[in-house]
Structure 1
Amino acid sequence: MGAATPVEVTVPDQAPRRTALITGATAGLGAAFARRLAAEGWDLVVVARDAERLATSAEELRARHGVAVSVIPADLATESGVGTVEERLRNASAPVELLVNNAGIGLNKGFLRSTLDDELRILRLNVEAVMRLTFAVLPQMTERRSGDVINVSSVSGYGVTAPGSTYTATKAYVINFSESVGQSVRRHGVRVLALCPGFVRTEFHQRAGIPTAGSPGWIWLDADSVVDGALSDLRKGRYVSVPSMRYKIAATALRHAPHALVRRFSEAGNRAVGRGAR
Structure 2
Amino acid sequence: MLYHSPYICNVEWGLRGAREAAERGDIIIIVDVLSFSSTVVTALSHGAVIYPYPPHLNGKQFAEQIDAEFILGRAEAAKLNKPTLSPISYSQEHANKKYVLSSLNGAMCTWAVSKVPALLIGSLLNASSVSSVVNQLRMQLNANITVVPCGEQWNDVRENENSLRPSIEDYLGAGAILSKLDGEKSPESDVCIGAFQHAKQKISEIIWECESGRELRNRGYEEDVRHCSRLDVFQTIPLLKSDHFVSVQL
Structures share fold, TM-score greater than 0.5: no
Larger of the two Rg values belongs to structure:
1
Higher relative contact order (CA 8 A, sep 6+): 2
After TM superposition, the score normalised by the length of structure 2 is 0.31
After TM superposition, the score normalised by the length of structure 1 is 0.29
